[in-house]
Amino acid sequence: MRKNVKIIHNNETYYVNPNTGEVMDYDGKTVYIQTLEERKRTKEYFKKQKEKEKKAQQINEQYKEYGNFVWSVYNINQQLFANIKPSNITRLMYISTYLNYKGYLMYNQRTVMTKKNMSELLRLSDRGFIYFYKDMIDNNILQIQNNKIYINHDLFGKGSLPKNQIAKFVQNDKYITRLYIDGVRAFYDISTSRSHKTLSYLFQILPYVNREFNIVCFNPLEEDLDKVQCMSLGEFCNTIGYDYHNVKQLQKKLFDTTFTINGKITTAIGCVNTGLSNSDCKIFINPKVYYAGNQWDKVEVFKKF
């Protein structure tokens, strides 16, 4: 009976042979024989079910490869964290990867994070850390409760999100993406405090990244690749408020910076030149840093990483 498929109808269990159309009860007794048209529909149904199972398996494999993640909440087509110092955005995204399922930061699996731990992880000067910490507190991003450092749950989260919280996001036209812990940490670990401002553009542009294809564009909700309105390097600079005359510096610090994930050397941002000048460069984000979708087979640019 291996070739037969189990179905439940009116709380009764049956087994269908898609080749013969036989419908059998639990004891293997034939109770019904499908018509040719019914058999055709049954085969089509099972074919779709197998495709769904294959798809789910592929997604699970990708989840395993990319590792654990935290949720980041944002508004479409609005620059991320416009109220805080750019260099502190990079530091915040990094420190958010230490979030636990209860909403506060952990230095490791057993130790609750302290300000001292945070300073050690960020590798900032005393003055730099003081400014960062004050920036986070003043903007209600970090919150202290019961000697624990919480991150505003309207901005970051980990694990399953409550339905009421998801409904709240939808009502406020907010979206979520996955920040992959290994990718973000590896990217930060090779950085210096002086480069944090430039590296922040990787995160500031997040609301303009297509949720399916991870391409920087003007219509991030578009699901048809042919209709995605890609953002050129020049438009990228305009969007994040970067002086295009210094684009070579941007490329060196952001586009050409390499780091290692799972033994593979990669970059956080890729750029494909589609014209004669740098301004014609089309930009995409390494999904191992952040990615909102789950249809990896649709993301052609992943092959670049």
Q: How confident is the model over 101-107, as a mean pLDDT?
A: 95
Q: Would you state the pLDDT for residue 67?
A: 76
Q: Would you state the pLDDT for residue 188?
A: 95
d(CA 259, CA 41): 50
Helix (H, G, I), strand (E, B) or coil at 239: helix
On the CB side of 171, CA atoms within 13 Å amount to 7
Give CA angle at 269 (268, 272), nearest 5°.
150
d(CA 142, CA 104): 9
The residue ranges of every structural domain in the chain are: 5-63, 67-304
Question: Band of the pLDDT at 173, cuts 50, 70, 90?
Answer: confident
- Alpha helices, DSSP H, located in 67-150: 86-96, 115-122, 126-138
Q: Would you state the pLDDT for residue 278?
A: 54
Q: Please, what is the angle between helix 86-96 and helix 115-122, to 10°?
A: 110
Q: List pLDDT tens digits, range 176-216.
A: 999 999 999 999 999 999 999 999 999 999 999 999 999 99
Question: Band of the pLDDT at 3, cuts 50, 70, 90?
Answer: low
d(CA 271, CA 285): 9
Element containing residue 283 per DSSP (H, E) = strand 281-285
d(CA 112, CA 132): 19
Q: Which amino acid is at 177?
A: T
Q: Would you state the pLDDT for residue 242?
A: 87
Residue with the bigger pLDDT between 133 and 262: it is 133
d(CA 14, CA 31): 9
Average pLDDT of the chain is 84
Question: Band of the pLDDT at 1, cuts 50, 70, 90?
Answer: very low
Question: Band of the pLDDT at 2, cuts 50, 70, 90?
Answer: very low
Contact (CB, 8 A) for 216 and 236: yes
Q: List pLDDT tens digits, range 246-298.
A: 888 888 888 888 888 878 888 999 887 765 555 566 788 999 999 998 777 67
Which of 6-15, 40-49, 233-242, 296-305 has maximum average pLDDT? 233-242
Q: Would you state the pLDDT for residue 170?
A: 77
265-290 burial by CB neighbour count: b if 16+ within 10 A, else e? ebbbbbbeeeeeebeebbbbbbbbbb
Q: How far is CA 194 from CA 32, 124, 301, in A?
A: 74, 10, 30
Residue 176 bridge partners (DSSP) = 73
Q: With 90 as the cut, is the pLDDT of residue 305 above it?
A: no
Q: How far is CA 199 from CA 23, 179, 251, 268, in A?
A: 61, 15, 11, 9
Q: How far is CA 68 from CA 90, 101, 203, in A?
A: 19, 12, 18
Q: Would you state the pLDDT for residue 64?
A: 59
On the CB side of 177, CA atoms within 13 Å amount to 27
Q: Would you state the pLDDT for residue 57?
A: 62
